[in-house]
Structures are given as structure tokens and as C-alpha cells.
Structure 1
Amino acid sequence: MQFDRDPEGHLSPLPKPSIDTGMGLERIASVLQGKISNYETDLLRPLIDEACQLFNVEYGGAASSDVSLRIIADHVRAATFLISDGVIPSNEGRGYVLRKIMRRGIRQGTLLGYKEPFLYTLSGYVAEMMKEAYPELIHTREYVARVIKTEEERFAAMVTVGLQRLEETINQLAKSGKNVIPGPEIFKLYDTYGFPLDFTKEIADEKSMGLDMEGFEAELEKQRVRARQSWKGDEATVSPAYEKFVEQGGTQFLGYQAGQSSSRVVGVLINGVPLDSIGGSQTAEIILDQTPFYAESGGQVGDTGTLTSPSGVARVLDTYSPVRGVIVHKVQMEFGTLALNDKVQAHVDEERRLRIAANHTGTHILHAVLRETLGTHVKQAGSLVAPDRLRFDYTHFAPLTDREIEEIEQKINRIVFRNLPVQTEVMEINQAIAKGALAFFGEKYQQQVRVVSIPEVSMELCGGTHTRMTGDVGLFKIVAESSIASGIRRIEALTGFGTYVRLEEDENLLQEIADALRAPRSELPRAITRLMEQQRHLENELETLKRRAAKSQIGNLVENPATVKGVSVVSRKVEGVDASMLRELAENTGTKIGSGVVVLGLASDGKASLVAVVSQDLQKRLHAGKIIKEVAALVGGSGGGRPDFAQAGGKNAEKLEEALQAVYNIVAEFLG
């Protein structure tokens, strides 16, 4: 390397020319240790040897297995470090890279004939090997193993589903006379189902199918573009309507100190068009020189309230910041007018803001407790802080158990009841990070940042509004926990008055149940158990009665069966049974007639169910699966089965009688 190229393309000599030899640590180690490759060094060979024991293969025995062993060693090491650093397998960004690394390693194990999860055991060996240089690997060892094993199990399940989809696709293409699997379908198998490309190639070869690899590569490139975009984040664009307010210095935010202020109207907009005034019941955007209204940001919703002037009153419906430094109030006129340069009294809805603040502080405590309970891999992935609830998205690989939810709630409420101070401080971002403040990837921070901290509990960069003390949060209650994406979980919770409302609702519901069961609350579990036992008993009795009713129909069914070319055929619609009994009824009817064909149909909820039975002596001439397939087509359905028994379903129950009547002709055609 000799020159430095500036943005304009000009070259200037480097102060010290140098040569990029590619001599990284592993290559230097291989030279110093006298090895022919990086994989023979003490950085990777012990891991390869461990894998050899696991797979019961010999390194150096065959080129193909050697390649698989090297890939496994390299990939499990990379996965172990990535997960230890907080990356979770997902479908975007760094999580997508991790998932691909792991799945390639898993695939190599499959090629070596290993069907069970194995990477997670090797990750423990990586931690043991590298613990001297990276002691944190020992602390995260169990967590890393859990993440890897979960991903291995998920991948195995997806491969099963992917194989099923591939076979269905091949069958559909074959029926339509096509012999090339489309690129988008190959990519969907690869990307959505995690189905290895070489699996697809192997199965396609077996079925004499070609692959549209150009189409696949095109889809793959689109995915790469999406992945790159997901790493970059979104760049906000400034609407021309707001540009002049940026140039004028924007809006001064006073909301940390007060919930009201005297302000001046500096902008009136409707649909981006500047106006001098508004009146009547018009809805518009108002910009003030200074405001106590918090603009929606960082998951916290915007404030609401009123703007009052001598000439009119406007209700603030929402507050947001379309560009940094400019705060916009979406208002609807209550009466009178508002005009440019009017002096207004800005009043925030204080009760609403207090509820929002309680939920925001509750979110910080929740984040801290999740990291303490589940591990430091937990990171905020999104949030909503509203007056009536909070929602917190976080990185984690598994659903919370009931025990974990209980533990998390208890820890949070202990912090709330300790009534710790909630402190805010403005400092340089580097200083905040050095102090241990949590910053979130993808967020844009200025040089000066606001740090919200709760002593011994939490420290985060945050511009939102908070309570003064943790006790102001009130009782904290988790009401839902779910998955919103691979590796991303969501908690929904209530605080303070919201929790009280939920508890009141639960109390009322509990009392309704107690009244309905005529049992005191303390006896409800036993009363419900008794009720369920009674229900099961009645269901069993009903099942018995249905079976008796079904058996009673056999006599009518076998009476005067039709004869088609010397074969007895019973084709009837039955009543009073369900689909599960239809098979039993058909088989019993077949037994009763001895030699023959039985086709029974049932109409339920607008759909048709069909079963066919062929006696053993006729199975060389007649096939139940082929018969039922023909009949099912007449009711808009499909089906199939064995020579002796088959079943089908259709969506046109109104054509069931017609289909059953056609059975005689269908049997005649098969008999020839």
C-alpha cells in the first residue's frame, strides 16, 4: 500500500508505505508451529479432534469428512463468540449471519451421518479452550449452549417441513408437465425453511428435476440488499414544510422542568401548507417557540393537552418531531382562532403524563431485571410507552416460563417498593458509555446525551419523561409475553392505576365464575375440576350412544345392496355420526356384507366426508383409494388411501347425494 485516495479521487503518498501480507494471528501461528494450515494449529486442531470423537471419524481419513470437520470447528467457534457477545440467531443483520454460520455447521454434521444436535456440546469445548484469553466465555457457557441447541432443534424441525414442501412442489410441477423448480421456490426453501441448497439439488436429481439457479441467485441478491439495508438504519428526510423552522432555531423543550409554559405561535400548517391562522373546528399543526409538550420519541408517545390564547382554545391531540429540534403539535380547534405570533398558554395533560412516566420508568426497571435474570444478551429491540400500558421488545431465544415471569415481577416490584430515586444527568456520550450506560444499536445520539439512572439498578441513555422515585411507578404487572420474530420476544405490562384497573377486572371475573359455579372462591379449583369430570363423563356417554346409533344403521345399510357386475356395492349417506365414526361404520358394514364395496358419506358444516372399504377378495380388481379419489372430485375435494380403505373430504356437501349415486358407475368402470 503506497497511496491514500481522498473523496475526490486524488492520490497522495502514505507517510509509511506497507505491504498487506495477510499474515493474521492464525497464519503466523501455523508458521511458528510448523503446520501446513491454520486447522493444524493449537487454535483449531483440538476442536477438530473433539469433533472426531463425537462423530467417531478419523481426521485425515477422507477429504470429504476432513472438509466437514474443518467447517464445523471454524463455525462453532465463530458462533460461540458471537452469541457470547450478545448476538441472537434471527432473520436480519448480524443475527442472520450467525444463523447461516450455525446452519452450515449443522449441515456438515448431517453429512457425517449425525442426526442429533451437536454444535451446542462443541461450544462448551470452545469455551474451555479459549477461557484463558476470554474468561467471559466460561460465564456465558451455559447460555451459549442453550441458544445453539434451541437453534439446532428449530433447524431440524424446519428441514422436515422444508422436505415436505419440496416434495409437494415437485409433485405439482410434474402434474403440470414442468421439470424445472423455479428460483423463487428454491430460495424460499433455502431462506424461509432453512433447507440446504445441496439437499434441494440432491432430491431434484433423484426426481429428474432441473433447478432455476439464475432465479435463485437473483432472489439471493435481493436478500443481500435487504440485509445490508437492515444494518444501515433509516435516514430521516426533512420535509420542506419544516426546513425553515430548523433554520429559525427550532423549538425549545421545557417539559423536563414544567408541564405548562407561555409560548408564541411561530408556525401554522395544514397538510404542509403554511397558514396565517386557523379557526372553527379545523385540525392543523402548530409550532411554538418553546413548549412543555414531549414529542413522540424512543417508544414514548407524544403528550396531549391544550393551547389557550385570548382568541381561542385548541386541543392538542398529539405531539411529534418530524425533524430534530422542531416539535409539532397536532391540534383541533375547540373554539375561536389561533394565529401566527399569538401568545398561548401551553398546558400538558399532567395526569396522562404521570401515567406515561410511570410506564417509562417501569420499562427501564424491566430491562434491567431481564438482563439480571436471563443474561446480559438481553437488549431492547423496541418499545411502546403509553399512558395505559407499556410494551417491551427484547432479544432472547426462548419463551419465558411461568416461574421466570413470577421471578421478574417480584424483582421489579421490590425495586418499586424500595422507592429509589430516578436521577437524570446530561453528559458527553463517551463519558456516559464509560460509566456503563446502555445505548441501543440503531439509535442516533448527539455528543451531549441525557442519562437516566436508578442507583444499583439501571443506567440508560434516554430522552423520555420519568417519575421522580421508583415508588411512583406503582404495582407492576406483566399481562402478556410472546414472540414477534425469531430471537425477539415481547412483554406487555401495566403499572400503577393500569394495574389497579386490571385487578378490578380480574376480581369481577373471578366473582362471576364463583357465582356461576355456586362455590366460594377458595373452592373454585375443585369446583372446576368436578365440572370438567362431569363433562368428560357426559361426552363418553354421548360417544357410546352415537356408536350404538351407528351400529343400528348397519342393518339398513346392508339390506338389499346393489350388484354391479357381480359385486355387492353399498353407497349411502349416513346421519347421526361424526367423521371419526364414519370409518368404523364403513368397516363394520363391509364385514357384514362379506364381499363387496362400501362407500359412505357424511355432510357436516357445509362439507362432505367420505370413506371407502373394499373386501380383500376384490382388491386385485378394485382399489379403495382410486374409487374414493373419483368420488371426492364430485364434491370438490380430494383423497386417497390403500386398496382396502380410503377416505376423502370435499367442500361441496350439497353434491354428496349425487356423488354417492355415481359410485355404482365408477365401480363398473374399474371392473371393466
Structure 2
Amino acid sequence: MRTADIRSRFLDFFAERGHTVVPSAPLPTPDPTLLFVNAGMVPFKPYFTGEAAPLWERATSVQKCVRTLDIEEVGKTTRHGSFFQMNGNFSFGDYFKEEAIAYAWELSTASQANGGYGLDPDRIWVTVHHSDSESRAIWRKTAGLPDERIVARGDEDNFWSMGVPGPCGPCSELYYDRGPALGREGGPAVDEDRYMEFWNLVFMQYERGDGPGKSGYPILGELPRRNIDTGMGLERMATLLQGKDNLYEIDETRPVLDHAAALAGVRYGADAQSDVRLRVVADHVRTALMLLGDGTAPGNEGRGYVLRRILRRAVRSMRQLGYQDPALRELLPVARDCMAPSYPEITEAFPRITDQAYGEEDTFRATLKQGTTVLDTAITKVKAEGGRSLPGAQAFLLHDTYGFPIDLTLEMAAEQGVEVDREGFTALMNAQRERARADARVRKSGGAVDTTALRSVLDANGPTDWLAWETLTTESRVLAVLGAEGAVPVARTGEIVTVVLDRSPFYAESGGQDSDAGVLSGASVEAEVLDVQRPLPGLVAHQVRITAGELATGDAVHAAVDPEWRLGARQAHSGTHVLHAALREVLGPTALQAGSYNRPGYLRLDFPWRGGLSTTVRSEVEEAANRALRRDLPVGVQWMTLPEAKELGALALFDETYGEKVRVVEIGGAWSRELCGGTHVEHASQIGTVALTSEGSVGAGMRRLEAAVGVEGFAYLARERDLVARIAEQLGAPRAELPEKIAGLLDRLKAADRENARLKQQVTTARAAELAGNAVDATGVQVVVTTAEGGAEEARALATAVRDRLPVATPGAVGVGTAAGVVVVALNKAAREAGLNAAALVKQLLGGRGGGSPELAQGGGLAADRLADTLAELPRLVGSR
């Protein structure tokens, strides 16, 4: 049974039993604790925690998931995959254990002709929590399972919670016996390779308190509404139904693996190390495809860094298999064909996906060259200073700035006799991750306030009456005044606190739009609003500075948005939509917004594109945007369901979460139609102007446009006019002639640079010819030994230049050393045919260190006072071949 059929059969089964089919949420998630959705229940988390009211009593979904904590294990085991799909059925206070168990048993064991999966019931084992006698009894009654196939386990295996105070409960897991060829008898407690888990049923019925890990925390009592959360691993079920040994061999991954093997000229199953690399490729290419499809772009931070690492691991694995050509152009189309039956939108987005992926691979291939140069320089410096270890900071720089994999740094450093401070590198990586986590926590919590205190306010008072779309002022009551440690009795002049109001006119930062500015004023207080966030669904939190008086819970205040600020914000946000539409008009539909930020007078927009935009294209985009302003296109807002919005052609941002009803903002009807919760002008002409101020790269395959809008846009154009006037005056040329005047100056500078390079090359050529002419004979081999100024790059250049000037018919060997302890050996074709090997010679000269090709090799770690003696050994070594 194809994986796509297993998926649709699951959804159909539960839809027929009253469950609402909920589409998979995008892989990027707004949850501040996660980069990507990593479990099927994540999109439903607010319903389980009580942060939001459930939209349905029962639901079902097949959720795309990515887990990367164990990425190093991918390919080494049969169970680790970075991308997977979780089939789930959910009950929010509706049915409970008996129905959940009955559904799982029926779907698992019913014949395929009757809509089930047709698993042999005699080979299914289940586990239950040791305290859950109720589930044990239901399994006996519903499935007729004997006691020996109902295994009791402890908290570590069969009690679920999110790791923090909140809902929890026992769980029951279903396992399938794959037969004695795969392990020992005795059930899942003995061997989880033979007995593969394929479904987990979580019974949320308790509330847990604070405590460590998976056990040892207090149970505070029963939940008011008991919930069901189940997860069936789609890839695991496919492994069972397709009779495969592991998830890399099912129909959604095996074609990628086979094509990678064919490209590399290896056979899957013939070599353990090659098999691991092939499985890495199969997994990572599919994962990258799905991440790119959901709008993640390669970058140096957060989600983008994870994707970049996955793509580069796939490319690196292909190179390790011996395939040196661009690989993603060959493999991504195969992955697309595998996944399109379940996710047809992948085909539509494929031009955008490949544009980013291929650009990332091209950049990485160049990175390998650039990183090698940087690494050589760093190693040379270490040796010159008498060291033997590359600092962790240098390895981190190579990894973080140049995208140079740490395993490649370790390998290449070892070739030159240098170790790497792996502990220092790991510490810097951990520090970077913690900074990212802390930044995410602050952004999502609206400041330093613990979300636990904010949740208490939400539970006690309900959601904020949010009126930002309707008014700039409200009469409000203070529900809470919070500091870093929780509620404070009163906030006084000069203090910065977080304030929760019963109603608010302030726009909370979201969808790329900055939060509103304004004031809170009351009988005894004046406060400046610094920031506004939605740290929890339904709750608006205001960070304020008390400028006069005191503020306490229960005070009545007048909340007022700065009208000039809001006008500027509306201009910038509508300007972002206009620029996005103009960009797509000029470049085509693959120029899809991948991120944005706007505040009064300023906007930026990120989009996937390979290569910079020419001046002509930038002018066309700017003209298309301002043409929309001149036409005074109307701006309209509609509410509709998400399927209706998609049918209408509205663009949805991948990192946004949408409810049952979505807000569609149109500018000129279909010309610009996007899902958006921001504030906007009423007519395009109110934006004033859109003046592009910059265009540049923000990562491989990702560009950023910045623009000034409104009054700031006109001011920018005025400054540009004055700047041109000053340059024209300094150059003594009319404005219209400035391009030609500046081009002439640049041409003269380039000519001078070329002349300097030519003279330098003449010097090198003359020295190489002189050295070649003074070669000494070592038993029929012409040998040259000399030194070069600089590092490894200069030594290699001189060695190859001298080698190329030796007689082609006579074996020739060149050895070049540097003061930093680098030794390079180059051989001509005749020397290779005579049995000499440059890599072997370098190792002999340096006591086993170094490496390279048979024609050109290098090594390092040589003390400066031993350089002359070491180079002098080369004639003896080649002469004794």
C-alpha cells in the first residue's frame, strides 16, 4: 500500500466517524519553544492547555513534522528520520479511552478491503501504564488480547506530559511483531526493533504540577475535560505494510536513495558506511523539499540554519560517496515525485523550491573552496605561533560564517597535523543556540515577564477585547501590572512594567508590522507604551514606562494610540503588500515573500531569488509599485474560511497560524490579495510613495528589499537629489553625465589593478623559469626545492608554476616550503608514470602528516629551523624510488 494511500485511508476512517479533517499546519511554528512542528499535537496545543477554546469536539489530521535533535543519528538506525508524518485523531472533551482504543484496533486490524490496514491481530502487542487498569480491561474486552500481550510499563514509557505544568495522563502504545529474524522474543520491553511501535494513544485526564523530567512531579487532580491525543507514525505504518526493514526503504524515500546510489556508482547494501550516507541523502533531500515547500529559506540562524545544515549534509554525503557534480538537481525532482501524491502543492511550488535549493548547493560548493583557503590561513598562523590546536573560535567562524562543516574542518586539520578544540567549538555553538532561544522567548513573551503569570491573568479574566482595527482610543481597566517576578502592587515613575488591559486599541506586533506607540493616562498616571505583544492566544500585553504618577491593578485608564504612528504603520504595511505584488509582477510568481518587517516610514521584504537585481529590474519594481499608488487602487478587507481564501487565490504566509476564519486584504482586487491581520490604508494613494533604498543578500538564495514610504520616502528622494548635486559639483560634470564620468574613473582604476597583477605574474614567471633551469638530477628525476613567501596558497602557486616549466618528457618533482611550516610537493606526468606519488612524498617528509592528490600534495606542522633540512630530503626520496 502506497504511503499516500495509508494517509488518505486514515483520514477517511476518522472522517466517517465524525472527526473534522484538519489540514497539516506548516512546519514552521509560532510556538516560542520550537523551530518546527515536531509532533502531531503541536497545532492543537492551545486547546489542550486551555489557552483557546477548541474549534471542534473531535478532529483528525496528518501532520508534517521535523525533528533535528538527533540529526547525527539519521541513517545509522532504522528509526531516526528528520522529517516524518504523524497521523492523529483528537477528542476535546468528547470520547475517551474506550472509543480511542476501539478506533485504533479497528483501523489497524480490519481488512484492507473493508477500509483497514489488515495487520495480523495475533502479532499486535500493546503497552499500558502500570496504574491504568482501565485501559488493560478495555484492551481485553475490545481486542480480546491476552494478558501476556498487554505489557505494563512505568512513567518513562507510558505516561505523557509536555514537560511543564499542565495536562498529562497515561498512554497506551501499539507494537507489531515483525518476526524472529529481526530480534528476540518477549515483546516491546525486550526488543523494540523486532516489536515496532506504530501508534500511541494518550489519555489526557490529569493536571500535573511543577517537577523534573518525566516523573516525580505531583498530580494536582483531574482535568475538567478529558482529551484524547493519538499519534500513528505514517512512515512506520508504511514500513510494516510495504514489508520493508526501515523507513528509508518505503516508497517516499527509496527512489531518492536508489537514484543517489546510481549517480555515485555504488550499490545499496554492499558497504555499511556507504549505506549510512545513502540513507542520509534520502532523508535529508525529502526533509529539505518539505521545509522549502513550507516557506523556510536557508540562512545562518534558527530555522534557516537547520535547513542549510540539512541541505549541506546531503550534498556533503554525495561528495563522500564520490559524486562531485551538483546533486540536488538530480535528486530533488525524484523527491518531488514521491511526495506529490500526498502534497500536490509541492509541484506548484517546485520552481521556487529548486531556485533556493540549487542556489544553496552552488554556494556551498564555492564555500568548500573559500573555506579551504580560510582554514589553511588559520592553520598556518597556529603553526607559526608554535601551536598544535586550532581554536574553537576559528572552527566556529568557519562553521557559522562560511558554512564549513565541523567534520570537514576536523578532517582537513588532521591532514596538516593540527587538532581542533572541539570543546571550545561546542561551547560556542551551545551559546549561540541559547541566545536564539532566549531571543525567541523574549519576542514571544512581550518582555521579561514569565508567561505563567500572564496565563493566570488570561484564565481569570478571559481574552483581551482587542479593538485595533476599529478605533485608536478606548476607556480601559488595568487587569494586571507585572514585573519580571510576577504581579507588582504598584508601578511608579521611571519603572518599566507589563500591563494587561480589559480592552485595547493598540496593534500588537505580528505579521511583520511593528507594534503601536501611544500613551495610557488616568487620574494619577501617565505612561508611555513602548511595545505591544500577544504572548498568549487572545491576550494583549503592553510594555509601558511610567512617566508620571503611579499605576495599579484596577485603575481606569484612557488608552490612546499615537495617530501619526498608526498612519505611518498603515502606510508601511500597505506599502509592503504593494511592493510584494509589484515584485511578483516583474519577476514572476516564484518571488514569494519569505519575511517582512514594517514600521512608520520603513519597510523591508525578503524573497527567494538567485543573484542580485539589476538596476533596471529594481527600477521596474519601484515603478510598478508607484503606478499602483498613482492609480489609487482601493484597499478592501474580507473575512472567509481558509479554503475559500485559497480558492480565491489569496497568498498565505508560511509562518503564520490561521484560525477557522481568515482576514483577506486586497489592494486592487486580485492584483494584491493576501491573508493579513495588519492595519492598512483605505486607498493606495494614501501610502504616498515607495522609494527603494537598498537590495541585497541575506543568505544564499535570499534577497532583501528595503524601502522608505510616506513622508520618509519623499525625504529620502530629496536627500538623494542633494547627494547627486554634490557629486556633480565635485566632479565638475553635469548630472546627466555622471554615470559616464564615474565609469571612466573606475575603468582607469581597474586598468591600474590589471597592470599591477601583470607585473606580479611576470615576477613569478621569471622566478619559476629560473628555478626550473637550475633543477638538479636525482637518478633521472629533475628536482627543484625552494621557499616561498606567504602561506600554503603561495607555495602551491609557485610549485605548480615551476613544475609546468620542467621538461615534460623527464620525471620532475618540485618541493616548496614556507616559514610557517607548510611543505608542498608537485609532480609532472612523467614522474607519476615513473611511480612517484606526491601525497606519499609529503607524508615521508613530514612523518606521516599531510595529504592530497598524486600530482599535488601538502602538509604542515614543520618547525621553522627544520625546513631547509626537510626540503633537502626530497632529492634523496625521489632518487631512491
Give the TM-score taking structure 1 as reference length: 0.62
| Structure 2 residue identity aligned to 1:301 | D
8 Å contact kept, 1:127–1:138: yes
Number of the residue aligned with 1:150: 359
Following superposition, the deviation at residue 393 of structure 1 comes to 4.1
Aligned with 2:470 (options 257, 273, 276): 257
Question: Is residue 2:716 matched to residue 1:502?
Answer: yes
SS at match of 2:637: strand
Q: What secondary structure is seen at the aligned counterpart in 2 of 1:456? A: helix
Per the alignment, do residues 494 and 395 of structure 1 end up closer, same or farther by CA in structure 2, a change over 3 Å counting?
same
How far apart, in 2, do the equivalents of 1:288 and 1:465 lie? 20
By relative contact order (CA 8 Å, sep 6+), the higher-ranking structure is 2
SS in 1 for 2:670: coil
Alignment pair present for 1:107 and 2:321: no
Aligned equivalent of 1:301: 514
Cα shift at 1:466? 1.4
Q: Pairwise mapping of residues 534-549 of structure 1 onto structure 2 (< 5 A)?
A: none
Of 486, 506, 523, the residue aligned with 2:737 is 523
User: Is structure 2 residue 631 aligned with structure 1 residue 413?
Assistant: no
| TM-aligned CA distance change 1:424 to 1:4, over 3 Å | farther
Cα distance, 1:331–1:180 mapped onto 2, change above 3 Å:
closer
Deviation at 1:275, TM superposition (A): 7.1
**Which of 319, 334, 351 is the aligned partner of 2:564?**
351
Q: CA deviation at 1:95?
A: 4.8
Worse overlay, 397-406 or 151-160: 397-406
Deviations 1:183-221 (A, max 9, x none): 887787677655567656655665567788899889999
Note if contact 2:251-2:338 (Cα within 8 Å) is conserved in structure 1.
no
1:117 aligns with 2:326: yes
Give aligned-pair identity as a percent.
32
Deviation at 1:495, TM superposition (A): 1.7
Does residue 514 of structure 1 match 2:723?
Answer: no
The amino acid of 2:720's aligned partner reads: D
> 2:644 & 2:442 partners in 1: Cα distance?
25
Q: Which residue is equivalent to 2:92?
A: none
Structure 2 counterpart of 1:466, from 674, 680, 702: 680
User: In structure 2, do the counterparts of structure 1 residues 435 and 19 end up closer, same or farther at CA, with 3 Å as the change threshold?
Assistant: farther
1:364 has 2:545 as partner: no
For 2:501 and 2:440, how far apart are their aligned partners in 1?
36
Tell me, what secondary structure is at the counterpart of 2:601? coil
Q: What secondary structure is seen at the aligned counterpart in 2 of 1:481?
A: strand
> Secondary structure of 2:513's match?
coil
For 1:117, the aligned partner's letter is P
| Bigger mean CA deviation after superposition, 38-47 or 415-424 | 38-47
Task: Report the Cα offset of residue 389 of structure 1.
Answer: 1.0
Distance in 1, Cα, partners of 2:711 & 2:757: 51
1:264–1:81 CA distance, 2 compared to 1 (3 A): closer
Question: Conserved in 1, the CA contact under 8 Å of 2:472 and 2:563?
Answer: yes
Letter of the 2:544 counterpart: K
Q: What is the CA-CA distance between 1:467 and the residue it aligns to?
A: 0.8
CA gap of 1:209–1:529, structure 2 versus 1, over 3 A, is closer
Query: For 1:70 and 1:278, how far apart are their aligned partners in 2?
Result: 61
Contact conserved, 1:295 with 1:303, CA < 8 A, in 2? Answer: yes
Give the residue type in structure 2 aligned to 1:490: R
Aligned to 1:607: none
Change (3 A) 1:51 1:392: same
Aligned to 2:603: 390
Shift in Å, 1:239: 7.8
Query: Structure 2 length normalisation: TM-score?
Result: 0.50
1:557 alignment counterpart = none
CA contact (8 A) 2:506 2:532 kept: no
Check the 8 A contact 2:496/2:543 in 1, yes or no.
Answer: no
Change (3 A) 1:321 1:128: closer
Distance 1:523 1:174 in 2: 54
Amino acid at match of 1:119: L
- In structure 2, C-alpha distance between the alignment counterparts of 1:347 and 1:41, rounded to whole Å: 59
Q: Distance in 1 between matches of 2:498 and 2:344?
A: 56
Question: Deviation string for 1:308-346 (max 9, x for gaps)?
Answer: 67x789474535247554553736658x99999887665
Q: Could you list the runs of 5+ residues in structure 1 that have no partner in the other structure?
A: 545-577, 591-612, 618-622, 630-640, 649-669
Shift of 1:514: 3.1
Shift of residue 245, structure 1, vs aligned partner? 8.8
Q: Are 2:639 and 2:664, in contact at CA under 8 Å, matched by a contact in 1? A: yes
CA offset at residue 448 of structure 1? Answer: 6.5
Aligned to 2:532: 320
Aligned runs of 1:11-50 on 2, under 5 Å? Answer: 11-12=135-136, 13-14=138-139, 15-16=142-143, 19-20=175-176, 24-25=237-238, 44=254, 48=258
- Name whichever of 201-210 and 360-369 sits farther off: 201-210
Q: Give the SS at the match of 1:363.
A: helix
Aligned 8 A contact 1:49 1:59 in 2: no
What is the distance in 1 between the residues matched to 2:281 and 2:817? Answer: 48
Taking only aligned residues, the RMSD between alpha carbons, in angstroms, comes to 6.3
Structure 1, 444-453 or 222-231: larger mean CA deviation:
222-231
Query: By how many angstroms is 1:409 displaced?
Result: 2.9
Q: Report if aligned partners of 2:650, 2:664 keep a CA contact under 8 Å in 1.
A: yes
Q: How does 1:230-245 map to 2 (within 5 A)?
A: 236=445, 237-238=450-451
Q: Deviations over 1:480-536 (max 9, x none)?
A: 223445565433212222221111112222223333444433233334445667888
User: Is the CA contact 2:529–2:544 (under 8 Å) kept in the aligned structure 1?
Assistant: yes
Which residue does 2:24 correspond to in 1? none
Change in 2 beyond 3 A, CA 1:28/1:214 = farther
- Are 2:393 and 2:424, in contact at CA under 8 Å, matched by a contact in 1? yes
